[in-house]
Amino acid sequence: MVSGIFLQPIQIVSTVSERNFIDYIRVFCRSGHGGAGQTHFMRNKLTAKGGPDGGDGGRGGHIILRGNANLWTLLHLRYYKNVLAQNGESGSKSNCTGHDGEDIYLEVPLGTIAIDEETEEIEAEVLEHGQEVIWLRGGRGGLGNQHFATATNQVPEHSQPGEPGVEGWKHLELKVLADVGLVGFPNAGKSTLLSVITAAKPKIANYAFTTLVPQLGIVAYREGKSFCVADLPGIIEGAAEGKGLGHRFLRHIERNSCLLFLIPADSSDHKREFEILLNELEEYNPELLQKDFIIAISKGDMLDEELKQAISKELPENIPHYFISSVTNMGLTELKDALWQILNKPLEV
């Protein structure tokens, strides 16, 4: 999925597994140098001493990011440590401009951001299929001596060198694009819920950290409508400081419009569990608290009405909550309705 000189595309594995899900790479990039302008004077059998006709140098090759909706990972770029664009060619006589250096296109999944390692500045962001962003611009070609002729200097002996390209160590990071992010402790039932409301088939087992990479699924809604849900690896207390799976996958939550907190009915303290999850998000990025929240109490088929009322009193009044069961499908229709309404609420002016 890389086009341009010095790089060859490699085959992409069709299924995203724990081994081939790559959401971060570090790579050295250099755009092409501009070609030098030419110093030359017209000489032929009819003209012994003609005027300057040195051509301009060609532009150096750009490094361009291009969005590809068929990619879900940065795996295809994992083994490229150097991305070097071609230099522009020098100008030549007869006012001929040198060829531009060939551009390099890096195909990336939607949600990819490009960061400079030294400044930590976000240099590019790709969110749409087919979107092209010039990440590193090639250097401009130098002007030939034809541009420097004046009334007082009709035989200029100088031309411009080409501008150098841009180089440096860069990072590419993928933040999964999904409408709803499932947030919860390990083994809270997020993968089971995703498998029931979508066609996704995540790994499900009765132990913590079953999900080691984000899993995406499309929820089929009414009248042919749909929205995307991401099952994110479980968060534990201290995740923002690197415990458990750490903040390796917390960045994927930044792209979600709505966060669905999943808390199991058999939790010893539902309120405390929600507060821990909320605190970890705040520690990682306080802006995450500006998103819309919904709380779902999983394994709701284990509860009678009295227990449901007791749990409801523990939860925040300003956040809607639902009792669901992925086994019996209890409350799933109401939950999907609530998520759809939040995702499609009118924007505040």
The pLDDT value given to residue 1: 57
Q: Domain ends where: 122, 148, 174?
A: 174
**Same domain for 206 and 161?**
no
**Same domain for 122 and 261?**
no
**Same domain for 297 and 202?**
yes
Query: Domain containing 67 — which CATH number?
Result: 2.70.210.12
The pLDDT value given to residue 285: 82
With respect to residue 207, please indicate whether it lies within any of the assigned structural domains. Answer: yes
**Same domain for 42 and 113?**
yes
With respect to residue 349, please indicate whether it lies within any of the assigned structural domains. Answer: no
The pLDDT value given to residue 348: 58
Residue among 229, 199, 206, 185 at smallest CA distance from 335: 229
With respect to residue 69, please indicate whether it lies within any of the assigned structural domains. Answer: yes
Per-10-residue mean pLDDT of the chain, 349 residues long, equals: 47 40 85 94 80 92 93 82 93 92 93 90 91 95 91 88 94 84 82 79 44 71 85 59 51 82 90 88 85 91 90 91 91 92 75
The pLDDT value given to residue 248: 59
What is the DSSP annotation of 234-294?
A: PP-TTGGGT-TTGGGTGGGGGG-SEEEEEEETT-S-HHHHHHHHHHHHHHH-GGGGGSEEE
> How far apart (Å, rounded) are the C-alpha atoms in residues 114 and 103?
17
**Same domain for 264 and 121?**
no
**Same domain for 164 and 304?**
no
Residue 18 sits in which domain range? 1-174
The pLDDT value given to residue 8: 38
> How far apart (Å, rounded) are the C-alpha atoms in residues 60 and 23?
29
With respect to residue 348, please indicate whether it lies within any of the assigned structural domains. Answer: no
Q: Domain ends where: 174, 205, 233?
A: 174
**Same domain for 169 and 184?**
no
The pLDDT value given to residue 121: 92
The pLDDT value given to residue 77: 86
Q: Domain ends where: 109, 144, 174?
A: 174
Total structural domains within the chain: 2
Query: How far is the CA of 182 from the CAs of 211, 226, 261, 269, in angstroms?
Result: 12, 17, 6, 19
With respect to residue 20, please indicate whether it lies within any of the assigned structural domains. Answer: yes
**Same domain for 195 and 259?**
yes
With respect to residue 38, please indicate whether it lies within any of the assigned structural domains. Answer: yes
The pLDDT value given to residue 76: 84
Q: Cβ distance 145 to 158 under 8 Å?
A: yes
State the pairing for strand pair 63-67/104-108: parallel
Query: Domain containing 219 — which CATH number?
Result: 3.40.50.300
With respect to residue 105, please indicate whether it lies within any of the assigned structural domains. Answer: yes
The pLDDT value given to residue 330: 92
**Same domain for 110 and 13?**
yes
**Same domain for 29 and 167?**
yes
The pLDDT value given to residue 249: 60
Which residue type occupies 318? N
The pLDDT value given to residue 198: 80
**Same domain for 213 and 142?**
no
**Same domain for 125 and 5?**
yes
pTM over 0.75? The answer is no
The pLDDT value given to residue 10: 32
The pLDDT value given to residue 213: 63
